[in-house]
Amino acid sequence: MGFRKPMDYNSVQHQIYMAGVELHSKYNDGWNQWAIKQDLYKLKWLLDEIMADSPTFADEEEFLKKHEQTKMWRTLSK
């Protein structure tokens, strides 16, 4: 059985990004914003479960460290 990539990252990332845009839109009421936030929570919980059960890979620590540094620089440059 060959390699199979089960998702298109760009499509998934765009859908989540757009949910965030709608969540912060002043044109949506609290009812709609809460429904969007609930969907985002459900995705987060699903990802947390999947990541907790996944193996650790060789370059993973470096990848995560680089992300934390990028996040820190974004915070400091605000």
Copy the structure tokens of residue 64.
């995560």
pLDDT, tens only, 16-70: 999 999 999 999 999 999 999 999 999 999 999 999 999 999 999 999 999 999 9
Number of helices (H) and strands (E), helices first, in the chain? 3, 0
Distance of CA 33 to the CA centre of its chain: 18
Q: How far apart are CA 66 and CA 68, in angstroms?
A: 5
Q: How far apart are CA 70 and CA 13, in angstroms?
A: 18
Residue-wise pLDDT tens digits, 46-57: 999 999 999 999
